[in-house]
Amino acid sequence: MTSSPGLSAMRTPSAARSRCIVLHASSSYSRSPRWTQRDGCPGDRIAHGAVIPAESLLDLRGLTVVTQPHFVAERGEQYATGVAADNLPDLWRLGTLSKAGVSVAGGTDAPYGTEDAWQVMRAAVQRPPLFRADEAISPVRALALFLGESAAPSRQRLVAPGRPADLTLLRAEPLEALRSLASDLVAATFVGGEIIYEDLQQ
């Protein structure tokens, strides 16, 4: 990622700009001056963060990286032959971002990846052998990747009176859902209080 104007805009205090900023980093992330949360908008984020060198992790504190951990599962063989060996440890980071204090959220990037967010969660929990095992995260954290607000993906949504009713109803207890992370447990999906998906199977 080499979008210097975008990085400069991100470093502008949020009070001096009218909206949050999203930078797409589908190749290598280049280092930038360190960011601090007090300067930014809660929605400032980097989309993808495909290749993030270890020395850049601290630069990203105060931002959210919206990543696609399933790409290492879907494209592992392609990456093994098409990505430089010294870049493989930096590919589609997840666990090390969190450990460095960087906020993370998940996305499917459909149609370029699966449309199944649950498949993304499973990939976040179990990395293929070719890739760093310490990038894997727990099922609880994998589920949380998709519980953020749309305008600020790392800020978890609340179920409370007056809040948007964007909900998924499961036909399983929480522990069962975490064990399987399977889409067939979804009974219904609501957006803005309106049902957009319903599976009537018992």
Cis peptide bond N-terminal to 161, omega within 30: no
Residues 20 and 49 in one domain: yes
**How does pLDDT run along the chain (202 residues), one tens digit per residue?**
444 444 545 445 544 455 777 777 766 554 444 444 445 677 788 888 889 999 889 888 888 999 999 999 999 989 999 998 888 999 999 999 999 999 999 999 999 999 999 999 999 999 988 888 999 999 999 999 999 988 888 888 888 898 889 999 999 999 999 999 999 999 999 999 999 999 876 5
Residues 42 and 99 in one domain: yes
Query: What domain count does the chain have?
Result: 2
Residue 30's pLDDT is 47
Number of Cβ within a 10 Å radius of residue 141: 17
CATH number at residue 54: 3.20.20.140
The helix/strand/coil state of 151 is coil
Residues 100 and 174 in one domain: no
Residues 80 and 168 in one domain: no
- Token pair in block for residue 74: 């879907």
Residue 170's beta-bridge partner residues? 186
Residues 43 and 74 in one domain: yes
Q: Are strands 103-106 and 167-170 parallel, antiparallel or unpaired?
A: unpaired
Residue 40's pLDDT is 62
Residues 28 and 82 in one domain: yes
Residues 136 and 56 in one domain: yes
Residues 29 and 69 in one domain: yes
Residues 167 and 126 in one domain: no
Residues 89 and 138 in one domain: yes
Residues 21 and 100 in one domain: yes
Residues 119 and 171 in one domain: no
Dihedral (Cα; 79, 84, 87, 92), 10-degree rounding: -20
Please give the residue range of the domain that contains residue 37.
4-149
- Token pair in block for residue 102: 């960087």
Closest CA to 136 of 182, 78, 73: 73
